[in-house]
Amino acid sequence: MKLATTLLLAITALPALAAETAPLLAIPGKVLFESKLDTPLPATWKAAKGKWEIVEGALSGAELRADKHGAVLRMAGTLPDFIIEYEFKFEGAKTTSLSINAVKDHMSRINITPNAVTLRRDDNDHAGPDKAVTYAVFPVKFEPGTWHKVRMEMVGDTLLGQVDDLTAWGSDPLFATPKTAPGFTCAGESIHLRNLTIHEATLNPEWEKVKATLPKPGEKVATPAAKGKGKGKAKAK
């Protein structure tokens, strides 16, 4: 009887498990980098600004007032099409982001405050005519000390971002150019990160069907964030 009950529970759990792991934009390939972030990162990761250290089994990032700039930690090198996953929790920070650079200047990011999640194509020239493009802004309420999961996928000219069950996407020719220096930013003090994985990725053959179930770029832009509440813009590069 106990065996039958166990098998029944396992079978019942299968649809939920399949839904949780169903591919979105990308199919994961080989692991490019993996760390629980409970020990110091290798030399390929560089802290450009701020204080980054291991605290209570997680990577803690905090802005330093003397820097007059958000905390920044990046991995050197260029990525192929990829999937990045990790978890975060706020411990007093105003904002944090997962950021990808182009060969010159910024490319894209998932920007997160305690009140909003934003997926965007970044301004790629700053001094020129190029401007950032916002694909989605979701209102949220992230309490300090609670863990949440982030997923970013980039394949070809398309970007997909997911924080917990909030998902959005966008496309731009810039995304098809070399993707460099993936990293994290933090404004204020502090953010904790854990369980980072970077996979090589290929396009999900079912992407067009998946895309049809998601908000169109620009369709989900929260009014409170547009007025400034919870925008949490950080001077992070």
pLDDT at 63 over 50: yes
Angle at 132 between CA 64 and CA 212, to 5 degrees: 115
pLDDT band at 40 (very low <50, low <70, confident <90, very high): very high
Q: Does residue 117 surpass a pLDDT of 70?
A: yes
Q: Give the pLDDT score at 12.
A: 41
Please calculate the CA angle 3-4-5 and round it to the nearest 5 degrees.
90
**pLDDT tens-digit profile of 180-234?**
999 999 999 999 999 999 999 999 999 999 999 999 999 999 765 444 444 333 3
List domains and CATH numbers for the chain.
Answer: 26-204+213-226 (2.60.120.560)
Fill in the DSSP letter of residue 39. S
Task: Say which DSSP state 216 is in.
Answer: P
| Burial label, 212 (beta-carbon count in 10 A; 0-12, 13-18, 19+) | exposed
Three-state secondary-structure class, residue 152: strand
Look at residue 223 in the predicted model and tell me its pLDDT: 62
* pLDDT, average across residues 141-147: 97
Query: What is the secondary structure of 139-154 as a DSSP string?
Result: E----TT--EEEEEEE
Residue pair 111/198 in contact by the 8 Å Cβ criterion: no
Q: What is the mean pLDDT of residues 10-35?
A: 72
Strands 220-221 vs 133-139: parallel, antiparallel or unpaired: parallel
The model's pLDDT over 173-193, given as tens digits with 9 standing for 90+, comes to 999 999 999 999 999 999 999
Burial of 221 (0-12, 13-18, 19+ CB in 10 A): middle
- Strand, coil or helix: 192: strand
Cα(215)–Cα(153) distance, integer angstroms: 16
C-alpha of 183 from chain center: 9
Partners of 198 in the β-ladder? 33, 84
Give the C-alpha separation, 214 to 207, whole Å.
11
Residue 163 in this model has a pLDDT that exceeds 90: yes
* Cα–Cα–Cα angle for 166, 157, 184, rounded to 5 degrees: 55
